Amino acid sequence: MEGLRETHFSFPGQTGFYRGKVRDVYYFDQIMVAITTDRISAFDVVLPRPIPYKGAILNTIAATFLHNTKNLVPNWLLATPDPQVAVGILAQPFAVEMVVRGYLVGHAWRTYASGLRMLCGVALPNGLKENDPLPTPIITPSTKAHQGHDEDISRADIVANGLVAEKEYVQLEKYALLLFAEGQRRALARGLILADTKYEFGLKDGQVLLIDEAHTPDSSRYFYAEGFAQRQADGLPQKQLSKEFVRQWLLSEGFAGKEGQFVPEMTDSKVAEIASRYQELFAQLMGQPFVAPPALEPPEMRIKAAISAYLATTKTF
């Protein structure tokens, strides 16, 4: 199976369309239909080959976490008519992503290792090593770019530039920290440590909603809890459960998404390796093996039929 790279549908009542790095989104009057394709991105660049079943894996994980946290923080999700489809409330997205970090990893570590001790207006203590826990979880927002790289930004600049009103930003911070604490609790129950993640929020009729995905391996980094302290004490790399292994492969091949760099060749064996890792991620996070959607017809046909059937029975658009 090659994987679903993109869709080209047209539905009755459709009012718009948007193609993101991973999702194809179809807009209606009051709802949106997001198809999680098998595209994979890293360093804000969509890689040339899709990863089989990645879309179903991400969508199922996201839907599960959204369902499990809806009583904690209201969210956009209404239905999942197909393993790769999420239908939700159409909200006005805020122009920032709320990145919550509990450990010094990824972009935060690369910034720290460069000698900086300030990230998005948040001071970082001296004397930390890669993957060390932070004294308390911090929020390091970024601007949400439709194209190109997201950019770090401080809370003060977000409010000063009018990206989010101060009252609403306080709500975003509260929700982000609540979700992160719940994500860490659920991760530990699976033998994992939620190291960092990002959340996106939107506004609908004056209510702040969690939108997009939550706690997936594309938006989050997890460490295996068993042996974490010993590996840290010994200065060894942590065993991770995230998309970081894709970023590390790209970095080892000299690609970091910068101008003039080229994505390395994605061979069949590399695609198969990434697909296998995503299925491992699913099994660990969900506590059960991944079961692939039926392959009796092309995924485009299956997905379009599921969306059409849902739209025919709903009056929310």
At 199-252, the pLDDT tens digits run 999 999 999 999 999 999 889 999 999 999 999 999 999 988 888 889 889 999
Work out the pLDDT band at 296, boundaries 50, 70, 90.
confident
What single-letter DSSP state applies at residue 15? Answer: -
Q: Determine the Cα–Cα distance for residues 312 and 317; give it in Å rounded to an integer.
A: 10
Task: Give the model's confidence band at 316: pLDDT under 50 very low, under 70 low, under 90 confident, else very high.
Answer: low
Residue-range domains of the chain with CATH = 16-91+266-313 (3.30.200.20), 93-245 (3.30.470.20)
What is the pLDDT confidence band of residue 51, given thresholds at 50, 70 and 90?
A: very high
Given this model, what pLDDT does residue 144 score?
Answer: 75
* pLDDT interval class at 91 (50, 70, 90): very high
Kindly state the helix (H) or strand (E) to which residue 245 belongs, with its residue range: helix 244-252
Q: What is the mean pLDDT of the chain?
A: 93
Separation between Cα atoms, residue 155 and residue 221, nearest integer Å: 23
Kindly report the pTM of this predicted structure: 0.89
Residue 175 to residue 167: CA distance in whole angstroms? 13
pLDDT at 124: 97
DSSP 263: P
Tell me if residue 312 falls in helix, strand or coil: helix
Residue 305 has pLDDT above 70, yes or no: yes
Q: What's the pLDDT tens digit per position in 93-148?
A: 999 999 999 999 989 999 999 999 999 999 999 999 999 999 999 999 999 765 55
161 — phi, psi (to 5°)?
A: -85, 0
